[in-house]
Structure 1
Amino acid sequence: MDVSYVVERIDALFNVTNKEIYSSESGITYQADRKVKKVGYCVNLTLETVEEARIHGVDMMVTHHDAWDEIFGLREACIEKLAEYGISHYYNHLPLDDCTFGTNDSLVKKLNLEIVKRTHEWEGLYFGRVAEYNQEIELNELVKTMENLLEEPVKSWKFNDKKIKRVGLVCGNGAPTVCLKEAVENECDVYITGECNLYTIQYAEFKGINLIIGSHTFTELFGIESLALKLKENIKELEVVRLNEEHYEANIR
């Protein structure tokens, strides 16, 4: 099938209210002259994941992130490699953070939480959540659950003695204190995200909110996996495979 048909089936999964914003946060970055029979999914577009796509005989990559602007020259290098291997690439960023099957809602579901409200709005898209447990749990129990889910160690800071009932969540990069501030204002007992810096930790301590930090990549994996599986449901003849990524983020903290 054509790449354009696959993209149409992906786009049909989303409730697009602002086409301009949606187009700026998703789309094809490289289209090869090749029919699509096999799609590979992962969170990041990197030279390593492109190589994984080649190894798995993938015709098209579907990722959450495009190559990061902050990694100078990476996008050009990835497109060159995609062209060499004849592999198309599509990404979907903030719309996947916002939607009901995306990064945040998928992790909420894995944690057995119930969503209270969508938070962290940008241009009509919400990239955070407040959610609650039916019964309170200990912080260390939540930490263990996170490590089992992400299959990597996570960092945690205990800044109050309360059990956990209400959770603030921003999958990916919720390190800025303005993101944490919204969780504080929603009276969350713990804030979970995939990035942190000195200010994140000090602000959490200042406000007395517990903090759990996974990795940017693996807090968002379940969302892109959910997208790929929904695509498979819609196109029965399509083969879908997960492309492996390194857990190096967990080792640099």
Structure 2
Amino acid sequence: MITACDIIEHFEKLKGWPIGREEGVQHGRWDRPVRNVTVCWKATLAVFAEAGGRGDDLIIGHESLYDPYDFDFNAFVQRGWQEWALNKRRREALDKHNLSYLRLHSTVDQLFIGRGFADMLGLDQPVKADNGAHVWERDECELRELVEYVKKCTGLPLLRVCAPKGLGQRVHRIGLLLGGGGLDSNVGAQQRLADAGCDVLISGESDNYGFRYAQDCGIPTIETSHELCENPGIRLFMKALGEQFKELRITFYENKCPYEIV
């Protein structure tokens, strides 16, 4: 009998320390027997319907089940979040389909997400990796050439680009901002990469303040999307899960970018 606890314990051993405060079973029982699992980036009503229709027992998601994002570890979280209409619909959908929800976030980040993003971009081993700053080098080129290369790797026809010195700026030392690493709330990640000598950043998700920080540092940023940059690493996690727990039937649900640039 496999449970969510068994899954957590296995990846804690791989990582070398306990899961993060934001991780764990966010709906359902820790000790429930598990046979059929859906792995995804973000819990959505569509994920619940598909997993429930298959008769799955457990969803393992990378991101939070509920909003606000930090509902389970921020002492000052907005009151009444439990009764927000969408949070209630999420709970009701899980109960309707008899699904539990396990969030594995920082654990999967540390073990799989960076490697998955680098693989998608055709980057081999980093030339520098310490203090959370991983740096890759490739042949020097103009920023516009790197943008076209990232489009090809990601399949995205259009990208948001912050080019403080224009698209002709020459770059070769790449820093990856995983997931939401380009957001203002994670600006320390940008600073670590700047300190490591990066001359271009490729992010999952960025925002206005995050772009402006990079702009004033003189470092261009190419944004992909949060889920797109993390899905390859989540697939690596799913592979590792299946290799350890061969009895499980595991299905990957691909969350796609929810917006279009028109």
- TM-score after normalising by structure 1: 0.80
Question: Which of the residues 194, 197, 222 maps onto 1:187?
Answer: 197
Against the structure 1 CA distance between its residues 52 and 200, is the aligned structure 2 distance closer, same or farther, given a 3 Å change threshold? same
Q: CA deviation at 1:149?
A: 4.0
In structure 2, how many angstroms separate the alpha carbons of the residues matched to 1:172 and 1:185?
20
Secondary structure in 1 matching 2:56: coil
Partner of residue 133, structure 1: 137
Give 1:171 deviation, angstroms. Answer: 1.4
For residues 153 and 49 of structure 2, the distance between their equivalents in structure 1, rounded to whole angstroms, comes to 26
Structure-2 residue corresponding to 1:123? none
Q: Please list every run of 5 or more consecutive structure 1 residues that lacks an aligned counterpart in the other structure.
A: 120-125
Residues 164, 220 of structure 2: 8 Å contact kept: yes
Q: Contact 2:26–2:65 at 8 Å: present in 1 too?
A: no
Number of the residue aligned with 1:156: 161
Aligned to 2:147: 143
- Deviation of residue 215 (structure 1)? 1.3
Structure showing greater Rg: 2
Displacement of 1:198 in angstroms is 2.2
Partner residue of 1:105 out of 95, 98, 115: 115
Q: Which residue does 2:77 correspond to in 1?
A: none
Partner of 1:219: 229
Aligned to 2:35: 37
Deviates more, 1:214-223 or 1:150-159: 150-159
Q: What whole-Å deviation, never above 9, does each CA across 1:174-205 have from its counterpart, x for those lacking one?
A: 22244322222222121122222222223323
Q: In the TM superposition, what are the counterparts of 1:61-140 in structure 2 within 5 Å?
A: 61-70=59-68, 72=81, 73=84, 74-99=86-111, 102-113=112-123, 114-115=125-126, 116-119=128-131, 126=132, 129-140=133-144
**CA offset at residue 234 of structure 1?**
0.9
Distance 1:41 1:62 in 2: 5
SS in 1 for 2:34: coil
Greater shift in the superposed pair: 1-10 or 238-247: 1-10
Q: Which moved more, 1:201-210 or 1:215-224?
A: 201-210
Is 2:240 the counterpart of 1:230? yes
Q: Does the alignment pair 1:171 with 2:178? A: yes
Shift of 1:145: 4.0
> What TM-score do the two structures reach when normalised by structure 2?
0.78
Once residues 68 and 214 of structure 1 are traced to their aligned partners in structure 2, the CA distance between those partners, rounded to angstroms, is 24
Give the conservation status (yes or no) of the 8 Å contact 2:12–2:107: no
Deviation at 1:25, TM superposition (A): 2.7
The aligned length equals 238
Q: Which has the higher strand share?
A: 1
Residue in structure 2 matched with residue 15 of structure 1 by the alignment: 16
Q: Find runs of 4+ consecutive structure 1 residues off by over 6 angstroms.
A: none
**Displacement of 1:23:** 4.4
After TM superposition, give the deviation of residue 141 of structure 1 in Å.
4.2
| % same residue | 25
Query: Could you list the runs of 5+ residues in structure 2 that have no partner in the other structure?
Result: 70-80
